[in-house]
Amino acid sequence: MTDSTLPVWVKTEVLRADEATTRGMIEMTSMLQATAARFDTRKKLIVIELANGASFAFPPSLAQGLSDALPSELADIEITPMGVGLHWPQLDADLTVEGLLAGVFGSRAWMRQHAARAGRATSPAKALAAKANGAKGGRPRKASA
Annotate 74-91 with DSSP letters as a single string.
Answer: HH--EE-TTSSEEEETTT
Domain-located, residue 93: yes
Residues 26 and 89 both lie in one domain: no
pLDDT tens readout for residues 63-108: 999 989 999 999 999 999 889 999 999 999 999 998 998 888 888 8
Beta strands in 62-143 (DSSP E): 78-79, 85-88, 93-96
Residues 37 and 84 both lie in one domain: yes
Q: Which residue has the higher pLDDT, 92 or 109?
A: 92
Residues 75 and 104 both lie in one domain: yes
* Structural domain span for residue 20: 1-32
Q: Which residue has the higher pLDDT, 12 or 71?
A: 71
Q: Do 83 and 38 touch, CB atoms closer than 8 A? A: no
Bridge-based pairing of strands 55-58 and 45-50 is: antiparallel
Side-chain half-sphere CA neighbours of 99 within 13 A: 15
Residues 16 and 87 both lie in one domain: no
Residues 64 and 16 both lie in one domain: no
Beta strands in 5-101 (DSSP E): 34-40, 45-50, 55-58, 78-79, 85-88, 93-96
Residues 13 and 37 both lie in one domain: no
Residues 62 and 2 both lie in one domain: no
